[in-house]
Structure 1
Amino acid sequence: MSTLVRFFIVTVLCVLSATASADTIFGVYGGIGVWQADIDGSMGIDDVPITTNELGIDEQQSQVFYVAIEHPIPVVPNIRLQYTPLEYDGFAVVEREFTWDDITFPANAPTTTQLDLSHTDITLYYEILDNWVSFDLGLTAKMVDGSASVDSRPEGTDPITEQTELNGTLPMAYAMARFDLPLSGAYLGGHINYVSYDGSTLSDLDVKLGWQYESVLDVGFELGYRQFKIELQEFEDANADLSFDGPYLNLAVHF
């Protein structure tokens, strides 16, 4: 388990150990979940970029950790932290030549691919509505800490290996909406983070149905669907069109 994963788990547990009466001053929300994220798309600098299917990259089960703190202090925004480890491995005998990061990989060679797009979202937001209809607006800094590597083993020649670091922080617009269903403890909701610039687009959205048991410590479950999509056009001479999507299940708490 990575240090960052441990940090998020400890953070969630620490904030939950505070007194329940704190909700009269501020609210704390936390959650741990699993996301069955299928991957689809293409990447590279060829006229016809290599696809994830050709590289043998398939769906993976990822974890999600989040915590949010809301307070009554005017002007100062609320904060939400979310960490998503997103790691994929693939193996295939690629039937055509392709280029990645200016390195050409030959056809019909056993090829191992590793793709890591793990990221942390730091969101500052304001509550626009806060009753049976909740609506938040803010800004997210999506901090990507990942890499992509390709290892090809053509017959009769030396292995060809290339690794590219995928690190950076992207500013994104943020919105959240939630609708409480009367007398049931159930609710509908969703989040969206979005940015588009110079032909490239990054979006991260989810919709969910949740249920919450209200007590000293509110505990509930959320069943939803999340899509994380990356579209890069001639970004550092490369193109990418990748989509990570699938259902998720969260254990959610609030006090």
Structure 2
Amino acid sequence: MRKLMIAVGGSLVMAAPLANADILGVGANVSYWDSAFSGEVVNKDSAVDIENDLNLDSDSNANFTAYFEHPVPVLPNVRVNYTSISQSGSGEIGLEDFDVIDAGAPVSSDLDLDQLDATFYYEVLDNWVNLDLGLTARKFDGELIVRDQTNTANVSKTTVDAVVPMGYLAARFDLPFTGVSVGADGNFVSYSGDSLHDVNVYGQFEIAMLQLRAGYREMAIDYEDDDDQLDVELSGPFASVGFTF
């Protein structure tokens, strides 16, 4: 398996002046993301279009985030994020064979993608403008299973398994005295033909410890693992509810 190197160095984080939290801060939220797939999957030099050939359905995917911030200088804050994506569909292979399945065959498909992020970040600004910079280690596992409906012995399995380092950037702008804010955050990496990005923009309303958020998220994966390759994009609206302490 080839290893990805991060496209932005850790010096970006360390070079910026840091703003430490005055007190301990802990928060968590759960969100639902109504995402749609596009792109293709390659298995042993044969490709299938996951939207037009496999007709993978849009689905609501679960996402969980928790963070811990502290006033200790130098030590980074910690953010953990888990995303589980599961979609299925029925379609027909295109004009060329895909792996062991003949062209034109009716198929059923299941695509599962799990991601676990560990992010270590610093607060560069912490007032009505909030800016965080850091590094993320992302563990993702992807699996596409395509079954020939006319010959059940023909089953194609494509897997991608990797730990990827990524840059992390988050910005939020608070509207004074309203509890309303707008922001964006994302992870990015690009190296030697492989690239990933995962970005969301949102509006947020916060009252007491309750945090409500809605926005739009886009994730793109272009990654090769031996003979298997994912070149897919997921995008769609999301909503979340969380608590801060």
SS at match of 2:95: coil
Q: CA deviation at 1:145?
A: 2.9
1:71-98 deviation per Cα after TM superposition (whole angstroms, max 9, x unaligned): 0111111100111111111211324333
- Match for residue 26 of structure 2? 28
Specify which structure has the higher proportion of helix: 1
Contact kept in structure 1, 2:159 and 2:228, CA below 8 Å: no
Whether 2:161 is the aligned partner of 1:171: answer no
Equivalents in 1 of 2:48, 2:36: separation in Å? 17
Equivalents in 2 of 1:45, 1:115: separation in Å? 14
- Match for residue 152 of structure 1? 148
Q: CA deviation at 1:237?
A: 4.1
Structure 1 segments, 4+ long, off by >4 Å, are 45-48
Within a 5 Å distance, the mapping from 1:219-238 to structure 2 comes to: 219-232=210-223, 236-238=226-228
Contact kept in structure 2, 1:122 and 1:142, CA below 8 Å: yes
Q: CA deviation at 1:192?
A: 0.9
Which of 217, 220, 232 is the matching residue for 1:242? Answer: 232
Equivalents in 1 of 2:69, 2:108: separation in Å? 45
- Structure 2 length as normaliser, TM-score? 0.85
Q: CA deviation at 1:235?
A: 5.0
1:158-217 deviation per Cα after TM superposition (whole angstroms, max 9, x unaligned): 621122332221110001001001121100111110000101110001000000013xxx
- Match for residue 110 of structure 1? 106
SS at match of 2:100: strand
Contact kept in structure 2, 1:112 and 1:150, CA below 8 Å: yes
Equivalents in 2 of 1:82, 1:202: separation in Å? 16
Unaligned ranges ≥5, structure 1: 1-22
1:24-83 deviation per Cα after TM superposition (whole angstroms, max 9, x unaligned): 630011101111011111121588832112111121101111110000111111100111
- Match for residue 96 of structure 2? 97
Equivalents in 2 of 1:76, 1:47: separation in Å? 45
Equivalents in 2 of 1:78, 1:93: separation in Å? 48
- Match for residue 188 of structure 2? 194
SS at match of 1:104: coil
Instruction: Give the aligned CA root-mean-square deviation in angstroms.
Output: 2.0
Equivalents in 1 of 2:229, 2:207: separation in Å? 46
Amino acid across the alignment from 2:131: F
Whether 2:32 is the aligned partner of 1:42: answer no
Q: CA deviation at 1:105?
A: 1.5
- Structure 1 length as normaliser, TM-score? 0.82
- Match for residue 184 of structure 1? 178
Equivalents in 2 of 1:186, 1:158: separation in Å? 54
